[in-house]
A and B are shown apart, each in its own frame.
Chain A
Amino acid sequence: MLDLLEKMGEHWRAVVLAVLLHVLVAAFLIFGIQFFHDSASKGNRGRSIIEASVVQASAQSTPASSEPAQKQPQKPDQQQNEQATAEAAKKQAEAQKAAQQKAQQQAAEKAAQQKAAAQQARQEAAQKAAQQAAAEKAKKQAAEQKAKQEAAQKAKQQAAQEQAEKEAAEKAKQEAAAEQARKAAQAKKQAAEKKAREEAKAKKKAAEQKAQQEAEAKKQAAEEKARKQAEAQKKAAAEKARKEAEAKKQAAEEKARKEAEAKKQAAEEKARKEAEAKKKAEAQKQAREAAAKADLQKALAQEAAGRQNAVNQKAMARYVQAIQDKVEGNWIRPPGASNISCKVKVTQLPGGQITNVQLLGSCGSAAIDRSVKQAIYKSDPLPTPPSDNLFQSEIEFTFKPDQ
């Protein structure tokens, strides 16, 4: 490589030519890209092309936005296409973005709805439970009251019956006392009274027992009913809570799932990109290696087949120097002329005879132009190359003297 560099140093003219050719190639490539790009923007090519045109579009967007479109009237189609492509891409990107945003929004809304529903259910359940509890309490109260009333009525009726019976017994007693013998009547009456008393007592006792039993039953039934109702309510609330929790759990799970999915996707994307970069680096490395290899091959080629070539280059350098020396020796610069810089194209015959001298622009003044032209004509014939294959019919002189 160093050897090559040295050689390049020796044959710097070749290097200059190489650089010039590089520039040409670069220019070709740039035009080539333009071409590809044109077709890409016209047709429907793959994703990568769209990406490329987007890059270009963004690069162009600044002048395109700051300057009117008619700035380049020679290429309206291309520009329009480029713009259209750019816009389409932009729109697509925007749509994608919008969709993504919408999805995200929807998910969020759904979650919120679910959350709200769960809350409502919770609230409803709590309300129902509260209402039921209130109703139960009220029923119980009502039942108790009824039972009490009933019991009170029964007792009243009993009391009324007792009174009636008492009145009847009194009447009988009076009748017995009055009509027959008082003793008997009395005894009878006493017995009757006793019996009535006992009967009333028993009857009262039975009624009491019966009312008690009835109230008890009633109470038991009400209690059972309330219990059953409370139980049902409780059961419903529990069911609701369960359902709610389940919904919540589901939402959370969905969210977690989604997050995980997104994470996974990002990781995957990252991995993909890394892999791509690695691949790219690898490709570049390969290209470099290839280039180095090519250099080496070239060097080898130069060294092997190009022993002759090196000789040629040396000869070429000597040839150029001979021309330079002759023209410099023949050039009398006008006094006081400064900032001289110009190129002169000269065509020659193989014998060095000059056939044409053409100034590519003025050297600074008519006097300098004259001196430059004369220097070249005075150098006619120009030195000839040591071998014919080094001959070139065109020579471009650059007049740029040190001040």
Chain B
Amino acid sequence: MRHFDFQFARRLMLVMVLLATAVAVTACGGSKNIRNNGGMPEAGMQGSNGQSSGMGQSRDIDVRGLEGIPKGDRHLFTDPNNPLSTRTIYFSLDSSAIPSKYSNVIQAHAQYLANHRNVHLRLEGNTDERGTREYNVALGERRAESVKQALVLSGANASQITTISYGEERPAVLGHTEAAYAKNRRVDFIYTNQ
């Protein structure tokens, strides 16, 4: 119950924030920065697009990783209200266990994959820079595989999903801080044409 309450509260907050963002975006003429930012989606959180008004957070609408989604469905993945819009899962240090807060995200993506058997998903595992590079590649692969298993258990077909690990080679955030590390221990969802 507590878990549910927490999630509910969190979702409420998210909705409010995203609502505000939507309002802001609309207010600014709906300009979209569709340029992918080199596999660093979180960098967008810094507000690299200076055109956003000062009244709220701005978020680039990133189509990277949505190439394999029919154009008509892409809004599902950009709608902050939709759990499909969460396309990165963050992990604890040295762990490949999916935090429970992502259960609805897993559920949503699994459902979408189940409903679109021709859609293909690539899971890209990543780690922070601590530890050796090849070990981190293996660790990132384990994270990607762990997400894949969760999706398959929730209805996706294993043949729809491939995995790859970049280890620490493609950090989302540069820097040697704990905060940067937290952003780099992740699995990115990439819907590909293939």
Q: Within 8 Å by CB, do A and B touch in the complex?
A: no
* B residues with CB within 8 A of A: none
* A residues with CB within 8 A of B: none
